[in-house]
């Protein structure tokens, strides 16, 4: 377990936050020079809207923006405003969520199952629970059953849209399973 302390924006003093902002804006090619009153308002806005964000994530967002590693970063005009900070953070956090989603999707083993494995899990569920699963991959199971010659393929199969294939496969597999395993659905 990683026990390193990661400060959040809200834990920084006004002077520390001003230094972080100055450094961050410098990365995107903008010098942070505001009158004292505007600086106070700007810092308050950053505390209010970005306060829960980790400082390292905040500075990384500006680095990513400067390196054009964010979607639409080339169209963002760097300006000293809370709106610019919000846009950069929104793009950065969206990119982080996207990367996290892709990583989870890659780790998801059910997406990588073959039709044969899906069919085996389908049968295992029916035998164990004496009922049909809620929403298996009907099309993959149907294709596997036709490959095993347990079901005949529909002559119109290739002309059907995916939703049509899904409905046909669901009905055919359900009917076959109910007949084979005496399930009353």
Judged against a pLDDT cut of 50, whether residue 48 lies above it is answered with: yes
What is the value of pTM for the model shown?
0.52
Quick one: pLDDT band at residue 1, thresholds 50, 70, 90? very low
| pLDDT tens-digit series, residues 142-181 | 999 999 999 888 888 888 888 888 999 999 999 999 988 8
Q: What is the pLDDT of residue 106?
A: 64
Q: What do you get for the CA distance between the two ends of the chain, in Å?
A: 48
Average confidence (pLDDT) over 47-68? 88
Structure-block tokens of residue 32: 């942070």
Distance CA 162, CA 2 (A): 46
Cβ atoms of 70 and 64 within 8 Å: the answer is yes
Residue 54 phi, psi dihedral angles, 5° rounding: -65, 145
What percent of the chain is modeled with pLDDT above 90?
11
Judged against a pLDDT cut of 50, whether residue 138 lies above it is answered with: yes
Cβ atoms of 118 and 144 within 8 Å: the answer is yes
Q: What is the pLDDT of residue 145?
A: 93
Quick one: pLDDT band at residue 107, thresholds 50, 70, 90? low
């Amino acid at each position: 377990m990683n026990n390193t302390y990661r400060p959040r924006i809200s834990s920084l003093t006004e002077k520390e936050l001003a230094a972080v902002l100055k450094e961050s804006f410098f990365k995107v090619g903008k010098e942070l020079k505001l009158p004292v009153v505007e600086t106070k308002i700007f810092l308050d806005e950053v505390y209010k809207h970005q306060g829960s964000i980790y400082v390292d994530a905040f500075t990384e967002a500006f680095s990513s923006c400067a390196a054009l590693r964010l979607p639409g970063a080339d169209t963002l005009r760097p300006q000293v405003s809370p709106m610019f900070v919000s846009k950069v953070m929104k793009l950065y956090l969206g990119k982080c969520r996207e990367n996290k989603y892709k990583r989870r999707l890659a780790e998801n083993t059910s997406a990588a199952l073959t039709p044969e494995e899906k069919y085996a899990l389908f049968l295992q569920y029916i035998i164990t629970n004496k009922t049909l699963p809620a929403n298996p991959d009907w099309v993959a199971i149907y294709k596997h059953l036709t490959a095993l010659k347990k079901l005949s393929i529909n002559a119109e199969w290739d002309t059907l849209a995916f939703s049509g294939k899904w409905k046909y496969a669901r009905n055919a597999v359900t009917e076959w399973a109910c007949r084979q395993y005496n399930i009353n659905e």
